[in-house]
Structure 1
Amino acid sequence: MDPLPIDPLLPEVVSALRAGPALVVEAPPGAGKTTRLPPALLTAGLAGDGEVVVLEPRRLAARMAARRVAAELGERPGETVGWQVRFEDVSGPRTRLRYVTEALLTRRLLATPELPGVGAVVLDEFHERHLDGDLALALLARLAARRPDLKLVVMSATLDAGPVARFLGAPSLRSEGRAFPVELEHLSPEEAARDQRLEERVASAVRRALRDEPDGHVLVFLPGAAEIRRAREALSGLTLAEVLPLHGDLPPEEQDRAVGPSARRKVILSTNVAETSVTIEGVAAVVDSGLARVAAHSPWSGLPTLELRKVSRASAAQRAGRAGRTRAGRCLRLYTRHDHDARPEFDLPEIRREDLAGTALALAQLGVAAGEGFWLDAPPPAAWEAAHALLRDLGALDAAGRITALGRRLARFPLHPRLARLVVAAEEAGDGPGGALLAALLGERDIRAFEAGRLAGPGAPAPRRDVPTGPSDLLELASLFEEAARARFAEGALRRLRLAPGAVQAVERARRQLERLVQRRSTSTANSTATATATAAEEALLRATLAGFPDRVARRRAPGSDEVVLAGGGSARLAPESAVREAPLLVAVDAEERRVRVAGRPGAGGAVVRLASAVTQEMLLDLFPDALRYEEEVRWDATAERADGFERLVYRDLVLEEARAARVDPDRAAAALLEAARARGARSFAGEGALDRLLARLAFAARHAPDAGLPAPGEDGVEAALRAACVGRRSFAELREVGLEGALLGALAPPARALLERLAPERVTLPGGRSVKVEYEAGDKPPWIASRLQDFFGLADGPRLAQGRVPLVLHLLAPNGRAQQVTTDLAGFWSRHYPALRRELMRRYPRHAWPEDPLRAEPPQPRRR
């Protein structure tokens, strides 16, 4: 075997593991750690009689590493060395070195927590910090305390070994590797600003690299299979080199062509699998798009997705380093230096950004409390609580956080808990295979990938707009898939149906695996049935979808509207391509932020429901009776200025039905009226100024009879009167009719009202019989009356209040209503001012009587109406 940079370090690795149970190894890409270190553990006997299990972040890496090690041993894969990934197991009874994907080890730990038959575990490429890798590290560190014979190695290309070594209490070793200088080139800002598609930039950079480098291969990093396909089309006329794709969905023989030795120059169009996990000999130039499709989750459903993101600076360095593996090389970055420098140094670990429901269920199944010190990096508390809340919603955990019998059933499926709940519900209804298909369609890439915009580009079919109205987008997807299956997934049929071949194949593999699990369970499920009618099967799958997404129920805002109101608050719009156009209630299975067009105009951004499924009230009642409640509500109608009663049926916080109530609860109506009246202002429900005059009147009486116990209410009294006035009433009209000043007076006991009338009457009667309103003002201002001067003829003294103790201020008015004098000394006015004033009044108002002696004159009688 050719020597590799890691080889000199292997004796130290073996020695360290003989001395202790764990070790951290740092080695740059291309050092050979993936293919040389695990066999060294086996050869040194560090695994005892057990296996060495190597965790790889990707299926492609697991397959290729196992094949290379087997070839170096002169064996076929599946003998001493094998691999196991989802849907594929290449191993046998003699297999001692097994390369697996991270999630498979997690499931093995769930099934057999002590890992019998395993003597050593190697976590490769741990710097990628996948959620399954972090969970495996935590569980293995915990297991090591019970199994001192178990050896654990964590290998990384770029991660700082210090934190991992401290977490494990283990030493660390580093291989410096062997690297040649790599010349870096970035796009200029002017080049980056050009309107070019990615595949055009790639084709231009590849031709330049082939022209400038006399020999060697060109490795191109692209986000995914769709971008690889389009770049390959853009390079279709290339004669200087063979263009080969490299990604996880390719058959093994095509992967081997891409990475194996070749006499002819190659252009390898690869996903980020070639960053660290796979070494390709003879690469002289790298073209880096700076992009990757990374594992993410839909923030709406929590289901796994692939998201297009810029790579970190660490990933960019690893990509560039592939050009300096065996010789000096160059790296052409299809982005600016400023763009590179603005990127984060490392990608955020998945545990800090991913949905944690599956992880929480796994730990609950093991009975592990993931407290302080359990994780290398603890998950965000809010995300951890949200995961537990969802599991409680699904019935997987009880209120105390313990796993339920249903939760154990869900944990048996290699699915997100939502999808596992869907499958179990369909299985219980007798259509487990149908549930398996729906779960596969949701758990894998969208088979309508062109429509989802994920493979948009030249030659991509236009989005479907001819989807018939139906009860469920999931059933529509299942129908499309089954039509493709009947055509044996022929290329022409997939093109006619506008389906993405790679996604369809992934769904078919997942469906078969899930159907096998369902079939094994169905033999022991009492209520499984053989064959259901089409209607019953459809009903079963609609109910199963609801079971998996109980928190995503929505109500159409109006018949025929594409806007829905969501349980938990907020609203969203159904995507134009959704089949669910009529159902009043539905489950919003998946949504995304997108801009929609309404009536030919750009619409506002917001949540757009991509996948929906109809539900009924009967389904909600059958599956979640505790989440339904009947409510009576009194609501204020600002237009009618009235409290109205409503009866409604509510699911969680979502109103399903609402109708006006025949009877309104009087207490709640009064409360609603009081709140609205407060907002309007208490003085709106009394005559203008009447309330303040009454308060001043009460204050005057209380001030002049301090021992009588009369109240002198302020704003607190107004509030109390308003509250009392609202009792038994429900509208502003009724409140105005009673009048707030009347309510304030009504609060007084009869003796107090009588005393108020004696001390501070509302009106006084003058000698001629005229009744005049007494004006009271706040503070210490004296009360006053205003009337025509003639009304006071015959009076030597004006009226008095407080049982004669307080004279009224008299406003003596001319016939035109204007005050001629303001006084409390009526006798003095008659003697000192009246004679002169009389002459003026006689001149101005000759038709009125102006006697010389007002004290002996008779006042005019008020007119009778």
Structure 2
Amino acid sequence: MLSPEFPITPLLPDIARSLSAHPRLVLEAPPGAGKTTQVPLALLDQPWLEGRKIVMLEPRRVAARAAAGFMARQLDEAVGETVGYRIRFENKVGPRTRIEVVTEGILTRMIQDDPMLEGIGAILFDEFHERHLSGDLGLALALDVQSQLREDMRIVVMSATLDGEKLARFLDAPRLSSEGRSHPVEIAHFPARRDESLEVQTRRAIEHALQTHPGDVLVFLPGQREIARVEAALSPSPVGRGVGVKVWDERGGSGIPDSAAPSSGASRHPASSTGQALLPEGERNNDIVVLPLHGELPVEKQSEALQPDPHSRRRVVLATNVAESSVTLPGVRAVIDSGLAREPRYDPNSGFARLDVVNISQASADQRAGRAGRVAEGWAYRLWPQSQRLDPQRRPEIALVELASLALELAAWGITDLGSGPGQALRFVDAPPPGALSAARDLLRRLGALDGSNAITPLGRRMLALGTHPRLAAMLLSVSGQEDRALACDLAALLEARDPLRQGGDALAARWRALAAFRNGRVPAEANRSALAAIDAAARQWRRRARVDASPPSSVEAHRLGDVLMHAFPDRIGFQHPQDPRRYALANGRTARLFDDSALFGEPWIVVGELRHEARDALIQRGAPVDERRLRGDFADRFVTEDSVRWDAGRRALVAQRESRFDQIVLDARPAGRVDPALAAAALTQAVRELGLSALSWSESLQQWRERVRCLREWMPELGLPDLSDEALLATLDDWLRPAFAGKTRLDALGEDELAAALKSSLDWSLRQRIDQLAPSRIIVPSGMERRIEYAHGQSPVLAVKLQELFGLADTPRIADGRIRVTLHLLSPGGRPLQVTQDLKGFWERTYPEVKKEMKGRYPKHPWPDDPWSAQATHRAKPRGT
């Protein structure tokens, strides 16, 4: 039975009517309006649904569980009956389930596995404003399915803070808006004191809120680490005194990682170790409980934060941005907002997207503050200066992260280019950046996931099924032998985790050996126990996912780690430079160098797991040695010997040599004999690509012809003239220039006439004639002489001519079928400029008398008639016969 108390309830009939008439809908509703839980239930009995399922996408696991649980309780059922959910590693769906709440990756797999989406009548995208990459991909795929296969399927995009008008235009969909349930919220800024850490500032703000306002306090922090530090600051005493009750884990400990606590105790954060109870007068210590809330908590701990306290205690909930939307925290009257969140950003050093602490958007700040006004008037304290300005909206992940996973999903869907594929191309709200997508496809080809045409390979499909980053999937699938596969699981856990060593150098082996020691009950002094425990747990999970039965070995040689890791980073396999042992040439064509005290020094082959990019060479942060025999066995097809021709800039000539290479690493090079003409033409073309078009032999007339074409392309687009801009010519060098280099071995061997023929090769004879007619290089002036017209793209054409040569001409000359006036540079008899004009008639009428008066005395031998309209034009000092 639906509750009548939600603000969105009056809008539910309009939503149903809209979806009966139109297959798509944009629904705007603020937090607390009830859209997440009421809209799916309201649509269950719609005739167009025909008894099929509703799938609702939730960006976060916490919200997915909470939404499914709330809807099930409204129906007086258990989760898994009418309403269920599916998230990573957890499935609560039964044979009678009609509403299925799923997280973003699950939806993508559902569509990829069954493009017809049999049995599904509607897909709801909740909290779309979060703009996760998986959500954008899911919407693009769902729109493709709807347009090509399932016109009867409904798509609803719901959000609290988004540009609904823009999205409605993109979807060609109606737009409905609901009022939320909110009370006034007073917003204040709570600035940090000088040199104050986030946890100390947060503790002060919590103390102020508890002493000043009633109700629970919700604190927004960037991530688990900051939650643990604030929790430690609030509960400094080992017996749990301070603010309320300590949260204990199943082992009887505090549940706070030792690395997450304040690093130097009272000396650094004196306020966090005072032991004072931060309580309003008259309340006891056990009247307040501190609860964390984030996506990695056990389900029962999440539920505890989402329910009123059973003992009626006030609560301080320390949450990540999972509490921004989709979940309701009862009793919150005060919000403390750090203004920070952990969001994915592409890290070129590691090759993965990392969670970085970033400033939130203004929309997120408003949404967080609104959490304080759900039940009564509230208060929101912002921990950043009032002068700080936030971006209006959150930037979509698709513009910020590495796109290898997206490129692999697109290939599985049959999209090898965003302009191709079955039916029309996929439509994204924000298209993937072309450069990032191209780099992702290059990586996938190296990993063996795509072929040369960007189509997915059988290995790529197996990688996709693992549901992880393609680098890690390639590593897990490419190694054989149970022990090596167990090592791959360890490395996957190590690569995704924070560094377990406090000062561990650049050897990945040191980190793995610390993990092995932890498993044997020993923790090295330089290692962090809680970090190793998390890595060990993650490695066990990887072994379950990859179906690896073997346990990792207790000890291995360092190169065995590299032999496994190279399958994740084939582009970062490095070969030692023969003259500089600290530098390595990488398979991707770049170079990297070691630390001065590197544990990898002296290794001929290495693989690099993490780099720090610098101005010249990248600095190797993590790596492992590689056994050359294993490398030659696993990547035999990348070891090649072939003739190459390259451009030597110093000699300005081609150099031919026979190279032995691994990928782009030259292992050996010897002079070759005769230069292959095809390779020579390609090398000369590449030289122009690097040096620029100025490296070619441009005559003045050819440069002017090019400008004439560029101008006509703008003035008369109906002619269909080619784009001859620098950018277009450089992008098409292989089409127009490379054939002209046939038989050449030097750049200057291409003469002016040959260059002109190459540049004009795409135009037929009739079109070249039209260019000469419409944009002539020279015109005949009244004196009978031919004078040159100068062209420059984006400017008016210029005719520089002595004033006496235009006597008798009333109107300014025009070109391009009369569309374009020529700009006249009128010159004195001595060739000096007198006037610049496009109005010759006006010049004769208004300006010429003054010019004549001034010039007649300076040039008395030249004609200066009173009536220039009827005078004879001449290029001489005096007209003939006078």
TM-score by length of 2: 0.63
Q: Name the CA shift for 1:203/1:534 in 2 (closer, same or farther; >3 Å).
A: closer
| SS of 2:473 mapped into structure 1 | helix
User: Which residue of the other structure, out of 141, 159, 162, is the alignment partner of 2:162?
Assistant: 159
Residue 626 (structure 2) pairs with residue 615 (structure 1): yes
Distance in 2 between residues matched to 1:381 and 1:350, nearest whole Å? 15
User: Residues 255 and 505 (structure 1 numbering): CA distance in 2 closer, same or farther, change over 3 Å?
Assistant: farther
Between the aligned partners of 1:337 and 1:290, the Cα distance in structure 2 is: 12
Counterparts in 2 of 1:419 and 1:559: CA distance versus 1, 3 Å: farther
Cα distance in 1 for residues equivalent to 2:476 and 2:5: 50
CA displacement 1:709-767 (0-9 Å, x = unmatched): xxxxxxxxxxxxxx9xxxxxxxxxxxxxxxxxxxxxxxxxxxxxxxxxxxxxxxxxxxx
2:400 counterpart of 1:353: yes
CA distance in 2 between partners of 1:537 and 1:579 (Å):
14
2:441 aligned partner: 388
- CA-to-partner distance for each residue in 1:757-794, whole Å, 9 max, x for gaps? xxxxxxxxxxxxxxxxxxxxxxxxxxxxxxxxxxxxxx
Is the contact made by 1:55 and 1:102 (CA closer than 8 Å) also made in structure 2? yes
Instruction: Indicate whether 1:653 and 2:656 are aligned.
Output: no
Q: For residue 531 of structure 1, report the CA deviation from its aligned partner.
A: 11
Aligned partners of 2:5, 2:616: CA distance in 1, in Å?
A: 57
Residue equivalent to 1:19: 21
Query: 1:740 — aligned with what?
Result: none
- 2:271 paired with 1:224: no
- 1:200-349 aligned within 5 A: 200-213=200-213, 215-236=214-235, 237-238=242-243, 239=277, 240=279, 241-262=288-309, 263-339=312-388, 341=389, 343-349=390-396
**Contact 2:293/2:320 (CA < 8 Å) preserved in 1?**
yes
Q: Aligned partners of 2:61, 2:100: CA distance in 1, in Å?
A: 13
Distance 2:646 2:546 in 1: 51
Residue 629 and residue 84 in structure 1: after superposition, are their counterparts in 2 closer, same or farther (change >3 A)?
Answer: same
> CA separation of 1:251/1:373 partners in 2, compared to 1, >3 Å: closer, same or farther?
closer
Provide the rounded CA distance (Å) in 2 between the counterparts of 1:609 and 1:361.
28
Matched residue type, 1:199 = E
Most deviating of 566-575 and 406-415: 566-575
State the shift of 1:413 in Å.
Answer: 1.6
Tell me, in whole angstroms, the C-alpha distance in 2 between the residues paired with 1:255 and 1:578: 44
TM-fit CA distance, 1:407: 2.0
Written as runs of structure 1 = structure 2, the 5 A alignment for 1:507-586 is 507-508=538-539, 510-516=541-547, 542-557=562-577, 564-574=584-594, 580-586=600-606
Counterparts of residues 685-834 of structure 1 (less than 5 Å) = none
Q: State whether structure 2 residue 52 is matched by structure 1 residue 50.
A: yes
SS of the residue corresponding to residue 44 of structure 2 reads helix
* Contact 2:612 2:621 (8 Å CA) reproduced: yes
Distance 1:207 1:220 in 2: 12
Corresponding residue of 1:809: none
Match of 1:445 in 2: 497
1:516-538 Cα deviation digits (max 9, x unpaired): 3x67xxxxxxxxxx999999998
Matched-pair contact (CA < 8 Å) for 1:305–1:445: no
Alpha-carbon contact 1:24-1:173 (below 8 Å) kept: yes
> What's the CA shift string for 1:546-599, capped at 9, x where partnerless?
2322211223458996654444455445469975454222111223469xxxxx
Distance 2:367 2:532 in 1: 31
| RMSD value, Cα | 3.8
Partner of 1:628: 639
Gaps (5+ residues) in structure 1?
452-461, 520-529, 595-603, 638-642, 672-722, 724-865
Distance 1:102-1:485 versus aligned 2 partners, 3 A rule: farther
Instruction: Decide which of 587, 591, 613 is 2:611's aligned counterpart.
Output: 591
Instruction: Determine the C-alpha separation between the residues in 2 that align with 1:293 and 1:482.
Output: 30
Letter in 2 for 1:244: L
Q: Is the 8 A contact 2:486 2:551 kept in 1?
A: no
**Taking structure 1 as reference, are residues 94 and 196 closer, same or farther at Cα in structure 2, changes over 3 Å only?**
same
8 A Cα contact 1:181 1:328, kept in partner:
yes
Match of 1:109 among 88, 108, 111: 111
Q: Which amino acid aligns with 1:463?
A: Q
Quick check: 1:484–1:494 contact (8 Å CA) kept in 2? no
For 2:307 and 2:675, the matched residues in 1 are separated by: 83
Q: Structure 1 length as normaliser, TM-score?
A: 0.64
Change in 2 beyond 3 A, CA 1:429/1:648: farther
- Indicate how the Cα distance of structure 1 residues 605 and 222 shifts in structure 2: closer, same or farther if over 3 A, else same: farther
Aligned match of 2:503: 463
User: Deviation digits for residues 80-134 of structure 1, max 9, x if unmatched?
Assistant: 2222111111222222222111011111222222222322211111011111101
Where does 1:140-151 land on structure 2 (aligned, <5 Å)?
A: 140-145=142-147, 146-151=149-154
Matched residue SS, 1:177? coil
Q: Where in structure 2 are there 5+ consecutive unaligned residues?
A: 236-241, 244-276, 280-287, 420-424, 649-653, 681-747, 749-882
Aligned-partner Cα distance in 2 for 1:355–1:52: 31
- CA distance in structure 2 between the partners assigned to 1:354 and 1:657 by the alignment: 37
Report if aligned partners of 2:582, 2:601 keep a CA contact under 8 Å in 1. Answer: yes
1:403 is matched with which residue?
Answer: 456
**Contact 1:425 1:543 (C-alpha < 8 Å) held by counterparts:** no
Inter-partner Cα distance in structure 2 for 1:505 and 1:119: 42
Return closer, same or farther for 1:120/1:657 CA change in 2, 3 Å cut-off. Answer: same
Deviation at 1:420, TM superposition (A): 1.5
* Aligned residue number for residue 195 of structure 1: 195
Q: Deviations over 1:638-660 (max 9, x none)?
A: xxxxx9999974333334468xx
Q: Distance in 1 between matches of 2:436 and 2:373?
A: 41
Alpha-carbon separation, structure 2, partners of 1:80 and 1:429: 42
Alignment partner of 1:257: what SS? helix
**8 A contact 1:569–1:653 mirrored in 2:** yes
Aligned: 1:129 with 2:128:
no
Aligned-partner SS, 2:479: helix
Alpha-carbon shift at residue 623 of structure 1 (Å) = 3.7
Quick one: distance in 2 between partners of 1:504 and 1:555?
30
Could you tell me whether the CA contact under 8 Å between 1:184 and 1:333 is conserved in 2? yes
Q: 1:581 to 1:85 in 2, by over 3 A?
A: farther
| Alpha-carbon shift at residue 287 of structure 1 (Å) | 0.9
Distance in structure 1 (CA, Å) of the matches to 2:382 and 2:18: 40
Contact 1:591 1:609 in 2 (8 A): yes
The corresponding residue for 1:779 is: none
